[in-house]
Amino acid sequence: MTQLALVIDLNVCVGCQACVTSCKEWNTSGSAGPMGDQNPYGADPTGTFFNRVQTFEVGEFPNTETVHFPKSCLHCEDPPCVPVCPTGASYKRKEDGIVLVNYDKCIGCKYCSWACPYGARELDEQQKVMKKCTLCVDRIYDMTMAEEDRKPSCVKACPTSARLFGDVHDPDSAVSIAIRESGGYPLMPEWGTHPANHYLPRRKTRIKIHEDELERADNPLKVDRQLPKPAMSEPTLDDVTTW
């Protein structure tokens, strides 16, 4: 069974908001209708977004880290928003695990948004129906696009490759390897929703240089020379011959 999902690497996200704008641009021009904005140039603008990038400060000054945190629908494997929908407008696709809303069936009762602990759903004030991340379902299967473009719009936009896209049920996919090998984790595991989207934690980048790595290891002649060892600054055979 396929479960398409995003894996978001918090170690490399720089909080540039490119995924936010690219998501809005793609999805507002789609066949499902615009993502309405109200009062966009006024004092109190508001509108529908599928994806947000938030910023958190972790730790106490001066030992702080700024964590940029992209947030969209996590396409839960056990989505609490789906069974509560009275009309069946909210559903999880069997073939690829994407959680979608049928905008033609939605009555805008907002119950699904109450049932989502992550706040991933937003009521579109213009169309008066519930909207959410579609994982760019209208992109990823579009055979008229080049294969490298058949990815969610946010993934394509990310300049640091902080967003990976793939099948988390395929153990050999890039996303599964990233989750497995880089400590990928789900959000709010306490509610048993089993989010398909995972996040990769911050990692310390340290280089351990061993002393023998500072010497020319490809120079057996110098290593084998009689004691006492010559100083590091003395020329090696590499420096004086061209072989």
Q: Could you say which residues in the range 3-42 bind other proteins, by CB under 8 A?
A: 17, 20, 39
**Nearest approach, Cβ of residue 168 and other proteins (Å):** 16
Q: How many residues bind other proteins (CB under 8 A)?
A: 63
Chosen residue from 21, 69, 169, 225 binding other proteins by CB under 8 A: 69
Q: Which stretch binds other proteins (CB under 8 A): 115-123, 146-154, 170-178, 232-240?
A: 115-123
Dist. CA 53–CA 65, nearest whole Å: 16
Site string for other proteins, 198-227 (x = CB under 8 A): -x-xx-------------------------
For residues 86, 83, 196, 58, the Cα torsion angle rounded to the nearest 10 degrees is 80
Nearest partner of 95 among 7, 158, 167, judged by Cα: 167
By CB under 8 A, is residue 187 in contact with other proteins?
yes
Cis geometry, peptide bond prior to residue 228 (ω within 30 degrees of 0): yes
CB 117 within 8 A of CB 186: no
Mapped onto helix, strand or coil, the DSSP state of residue 130 is: strand
Dist. CA 92–CA 34, nearest whole Å: 22
Tell me how crowded residue 12 is: count the other CB atoms within 10 A of its CB: 16
Dist. CA 98–CA 137, nearest whole Å: 8
By CB under 8 A, is residue 185 in contact with other proteins?
yes
Chosen residue from 25, 78, 105, 223 binding other proteins by CB under 8 A: 105
By CB under 8 A, is residue 150 in contact with other proteins?
no
**Nearest approach, Cβ of residue 52 and other proteins (Å):** 4
Q: Which stretch binds other proteins (CB under 8 A): 77-85, 133-141, 209-217, 228-236?
A: 77-85
Concatenated DSSP letters of 11-26: TT-----HHHHHHHHH
| Site for other proteins, rule CB under 8 A | 17, 20, 39, 44-49, 52-60, 66-67, 69, 71, 80, 82-89, 105-111, 113-119, 121-123, 125, 127-130, 185-191, 199, 201-202
